[in-house]
Structure 1
Amino acid sequence: MQSDAACRGTRRARSFEAGRSAEFTVAQDYARRGHAVVDTRWRGEAGEIDLIVRDGEGFIFVEVKKSRSFENAAVRLGRRQMDRICRTAGEFCEGEPLGALTAMRFDVALVDGQGLVKVIENAFGES
């Protein structure tokens, strides 16, 4: 029988892999729609962005949420996390020629238990 710590470690590993799989599925969805994925799990000082996708001259910053249902996935994104993603996107754009003037959009991609994807475009932040 596994200890509590071992069980938590196993759950974390499963959760990590499920998240990676959901991000891969969402990246494929954006690619099918003609967008180039620039980076995955980009990390700045403020936090991490799951997917960064090219949108013309700008970028789409995508937060991926996976749960058994779209509704459960959607409620897992809070205001503090949205603010952190916006700050992190700002850090990413510092390296772009237009800096803070770079066009950006924030999408939330929900993945349900069957692996279906629902993208909410321009879900938060400034457009």
Structure 2
Amino acid sequence: MGFLQDDGASRPGKGATTRVAGQAAEDQALAHLLAAGLVLVQRNYRTVGRGGGEIDLILREPDGTLVFVEVRSRAGASHGGAGASIGITKRRRIIFAAQCYLMRWAQPPACRFDAVLIEQGRLQWLRAAFDAG
């Protein structure tokens, strides 16, 4: 989950392929972010409940900033591409999940929401792709 690719539920036999492709995109994004000096804190953080959300990757910058990362993969740029797939509902769910995650701190660290977009094999890292406001 965490990708706008469907889970295959409506198309028998497609779910496993989609999950494998999504996992590969997430692995590629993580490798890129680790190479850039970020440190992995958690992967695939999920909140409970139907209206909950998932955060694909949670990393920490060298300055201590906590980075919540949404990974989106698309074979092509049709329908606006990977970036356009992070709509308002998805952003709200990510923000909700981040708020739940941050409850563990008495003094939460500085945070931001990034996106890693992969289209046609090309990776683009968008720092501060959206905010909680």
User: What band does the TM-score fall into relative to the shorter chain?
Assistant: 0.7 to 0.9
- Supply the AA of the counterpart residue of 1:94: M
Query: Per the alignment, in what secondary structure is the counterpart of residue 120 of structure 1?
Result: strand
CA gap 1:7/1:79 in 2 versus in 1, 3 angstroms: closer
Give the Å deviation of 1:58.
2.7
Sequence identity of aligned pairs in percent?
Answer: 28
Structure 1: how far apart are the matches of 2:64 and 2:10?
46
- Match among 7, 13, 17 for residue 14 of structure 1: 17
Which of these two proteins has the greater Rg computed from alpha carbons? 1
TM-score (norm 2): 0.81
- List aligned pairs for 1:34-113, cutoff 5 A: 34-45=37-48, 46-55=52-61, 56-69=63-76, 71-99=80-108, 102-113=109-120
CA contact (8 A) 1:69 1:111 kept: no
Question: Which structure 2 residue ranges, 5 or more long, are not aligned?
Answer: 1-7
Moved over 6 A (4+): none
Question: Which structure 1 residue ranges, 5 or more long, are not aligned?
Answer: none
1:103-125: CA deviation from partner (whole Å, max 9, x where unpaired)? 110011101222x2101110111
**Between Structure 1 and Structure 2, which shows a larger proportion of helix residues?**
1
CA RMSD of aligned residues (A): 2.2
Structure 1: how far apart are the matches of 2:130 and 2:47?
19
1:31-85: CA deviation from partner (whole Å, max 9, x where unpaired)? 0001011111111132110000112323100000000236511111100110110
CA gap 1:6/1:97 in 2 versus in 1, 3 angstroms: closer
TM-score (norm 1): 0.84
82-91 or 52-61: bigger deviation: 52-61
- Supply the AA of the counterpart residue of 1:73: A
